[in-house]
A and B are shown apart, each in its own frame.
Chain A
Amino acid sequence: MNAIAQQPAVAAASGAAGRGATGQPTQQYLLFSLGEETFALDIRPVREIIQFSALTVVPLMPDFVRGVINLRGAVVPVIDLQSRFGRARAEMGKKTSIIIFDVGPPSDRVEMGVLVDAVSKVVDLSAADIEPPPQFGATIAREFIHGLGKVESEFIVILDPERTLSVDDMVALTERQQMH
């Protein structure tokens, strides 16, 4: 498993906030694609991005839990975002990557991997560039959306990591799966 981009948390925290061209404080966001669409995520909880190699399937889990990987000795679950948003499971491609996140409250932080089709780039966005989630018309459930970011005259859905990757929600879904 090759680390194609390492983003230590410390560096991300110090480098994530800067000044945009307009003089307003900016935040860094990681852009990645799922199928045809591009999404953005706050870069601060991102620990690293690794290339997809092999994962171990854990049986009897809901579709969105693709399995577990060995991340330098730690066993980390991998979530399929496509499936989490209620779509078909992601297909493995050449550029398929796993974004490793820290999720959960500070007292109970866990590492989690998110399977994405490709990671494109990191952009700076100021608060003025971000609009609240639309009332309708979004392709994913509104609860997962933090806002809409304007990148190069295009609006990109910024995901809310705490909601999208809420361990509690996923545990509840898993338990429901186990009942059947």
Chain B
Amino acid sequence: MTAWHISARFGPETFRNGMDPLSIAKYLKGLGQVQSVQCGIESVPALLNLNPETCYLSFEMELLSKATREDVEGAFSFVAEDCELDVRAPESPEQKLVRAIEDMSSTPRLGDMLVSVGAVSQDKLTEVLSNQELSTVAASGQKTKIGNLLADKADVAPAVVEAALNKQQKAKESSGEENRFIRVQADRLDAVINLLGELVIAGAGANLLARETRNVALIEANLHMNSLIEEIRNGTLGLRMVPVGETFSRFRRVVRDTAASLGKEVNFEIVGGEAELDKSMVEKIADPLMHLVRNSLDHGLEPAQERMGAGKTPAGKLTLSAKHETGAILIRIEDDGRGINRERVLQRAWNKGLIEQGVVPGDDVINMMIFEPGFSTAEQVTNLSGRGVGMDVVKRNSEALRGNIQLHSRPGKGLTVDIRLPLTLAIIDGFMVGVGNAKFVLPLGSVVEVIEAGGRHVRVDARGRHVVELRGTVLPVVRLRSLYDVESALPDRTSVVVVQSPKGKYGIEVEALHGQQQTVIKPLGRLFKSVRGISGSSILGSGEVALILDVGSLCDLATLSSQGQPPAGDAA
């Protein structure tokens, strides 16, 4: 049983939101025994000013209940947004001391700490300390711990002593924090990771051999070793991760200097700097981020005068934040400036011939226009921006890191740029497919679904493209077999993997599905740089090399090659 002290001050909108403080009080009554309850009426105004639909009330309640803090707070979950809630368990004198110790800013000696919060008197402490000296001489030569002595002799509660000891421990840890980092050359780390990759493959090979022997003990020993290898690999890959905060904080100075030179006032805020990202990615994303930040300062945020005219605070707000999202990191640059001027962008796109004159595409398409090479809506070229170089580089760089960019423009209110990046360049979740004897890996993230489509379901349309019907819509299909000249017997049934590319959805016809697996990416080297449709390679557990398909460029390749093919094709 705990005697909870609940004090709740309800927001003025509570009634209008359909909530009733009384029903909450009644619910709390059901949780235990209400010792006392008092309604706070101090904010109720004079009758003349009183709005009967506005809530002015608050209450204080003493509740004796077995319920946990979560249960008690849960009663307020519907009004949590605009209700000031304070749920407290009455503190025993012991807990008060513990809290006082935890709140102390410095960490003196254990004894002094206890004296200063009043857990023990100075006289008593001196007495105990002298006893400590005596008992040392008398006994084994080991000093009895002062904490134990105090607990025994001076009636200090063990919990209080423990809190003081914890406090000391923490202080020691934080002072030693800087020394706990080891600076390691990146290439040494890479060498270890490469070796581990080989170890994984060798382990898989050993596993295969062990299975052939049918020796259960050997198989088990191998499995255990493999799981250890897997853990080591994950741990080692984790070593490459660094918090993005270091890079972000470099921007502070840039923001300050840029804002000063533009004569604008800016509040720059960094959120989530502790989110981690692969070191090589952090380096590559720094420049594009810098560009976006500058862009927001120059184009986005208005001068103080203009802001005041628009009813905003004179100082603009620019937020750079990072957070993890399933398997990816989301970096967001948000400002409360003018947003993208749709009309101006559209006009410029028409003039440059990017969009046909008079055609008005969707907002998203218009917004993405700013990423086109050579595109600038700035009326004059400054030394910061307006040269029309940059945003396309930002897009290209983030795409090179297998990331994507999204814009959310709120005209007159601000712009949010979201950059989503994979956590590491070294590993992707892959979906392996087979064509003939060849194996290919697709990035799992781009796979939408897999449909069964025997060879006869894939038709050829009037423009010579292979298509398949997917729930009433026509889906273009890439035939890997004919595209890559795979020579082997055609199996009876084939599947179509539906993938989402930046240019739209399409299907890839494959003959075998090998399922999903973590894929370590190995670059293919200079010789294969110009190969289209393939972004890299990966070594499978069996030691084979599989090629990783590039969903974006494969789409282009499919359109090109199908134009050259006779309409009859080979999909009769």
Residues in chain A within 8 A of chain B (CB atoms)? 1, 54-61, 65, 68-70, 72-75, 77, 110, 112, 167, 170-171, 174-175, 178
Which stretch in B85-93, B112-120, B278-286, B531-539 binds the other chain? B531-539
Q: Please pick, from A60, A75, A77, the residue contacting B539 in the complex, using a CB distance under 8 A.
A: A75
Are A77 and B522 touching (Cβ within 8 A)?
no
Q: Which of B201, B531, B545, B546 has the most CB of A within 10 A?
A: B545
Are B531 and A174 touching (Cβ within 8 A)?
yes
CB within 8 Å for A70 and B531 given contacts A75-B539, A77-B525:
no
How distant is A170 from chain B, measured CB to nearest CB, in Å? Answer: 6
CB within 8 Å for A175 and B543 given contacts A57-B438, A60-B484, A72-B198:
no
Q: Please pick, from A70, A72, A74, A110, the residue contacting B544 in the complex, using a CB distance under 8 A.
A: A70
How distant is B232 from chain A, measured CB to nearest CB, in Å? Answer: 15
How distant is A10 from chain B, measured CB to nearest CB, in Å? Answer: 18
Are A167 and B483 touching (Cβ within 8 A)?
no
How distant is A68 from chain B, measured CB to nearest CB, in Å? Answer: 5
* 5 A-B residue pairs with CB within 8 Å: A59-B547, A77-B525, A170-B527, A174-B528, A174-B530
- Quick one: CB contact mask for B162-206 with A, threshold 8 Å, 1 for yes? 000000000000000000000000000000001101100100000
Q: Could you say which interface size class chain B belongs to? A: 20 to 34
- A72: which B residues are within 8 A, CB to CB? 198
Are A61 and B546 touching (Cβ within 8 A)?
no
Q: A70-B201, A75-B522 are in contact. List 6 more A-B contacts (CB 8 A).
A: A58-B531, A58-B547, A59-B484, A70-B545, A73-B539, A171-B526
The 6 closest A-B pairs by CB, nearest first: A59-B484, A73-B198, A56-B545, A75-B522, A175-B530, A75-B537
Are B526 and A167 touching (Cβ within 8 A)?
yes
Are B531 and A75 touching (Cβ within 8 A)?
no
Closest to A172 in B: B530
CB within 8 Å for A171 and B529 given contacts A73-B198, A73-B539:
yes
Q: Which of B194, B528, B544 has the most CB of A within 10 A?
A: B528
Closest to B534 in A: A58
Are B543 and A70 touching (Cβ within 8 A)?
yes
Q: Please pick, from B194, B522, B531, the residue contacting A61 in the complex, using a CB distance under 8 A.
A: B531
Are A70 and B529 touching (Cβ within 8 A)?
no
| A interface secondary structure, majority | mixed
Q: Please pick, from A54, A56, A65, A74, the residue contacting B527 in the complex, using a CB distance under 8 A.
A: A65
User: A1–B532 Cα gap in the complex (Å)?
Assistant: 29
- A171: which B residues are within 8 A, CB to CB? 526-527, 529-530
Q: Please pick, from A75, A110, A178, the residue contacting B545 in the complex, using a CB distance under 8 A.
A: A75
Closest to B197 in A: A73
- B197: which A residues are within 8 A, CB to CB? 73
- A56: which B residues are within 8 A, CB to CB? 438-439, 537, 544-547
- B195: which A residues are within 8 A, CB to CB? 73
- Quick one: CB contact mask for B279-299 with A, threshold 8 Å, 1 for yes? 000000000000000000000
Are A61 and B528 touching (Cβ within 8 A)?
yes
Are A68 and B537 touching (Cβ within 8 A)?
yes
User: A12–B460 Cα gap in the complex (Å)?
Assistant: 58
- A73: which B residues are within 8 A, CB to CB? 194-195, 197-198, 201, 522, 539
Are A59 and B525 touching (Cβ within 8 A)?
no
The answer to whether B100 has its CB under 8 Å from any CB of chain A is no
Q: Which of B483, B526, B527, B546 has the most CB of A within 10 A?
A: B527
The answer to whether B149 has its CB under 8 Å from any CB of chain A is no
Are A178 and B539 touching (Cβ within 8 A)?
no
User: A71–B545 Cα gap in the complex (Å)?
Assistant: 10
Closest to B520 in A: A73
Are B524 and A59 touching (Cβ within 8 A)?
no
User: A151–B524 Cα gap in the complex (Å)?
Assistant: 38
The answer to whether B70 has its CB under 8 Å from any CB of chain A is no
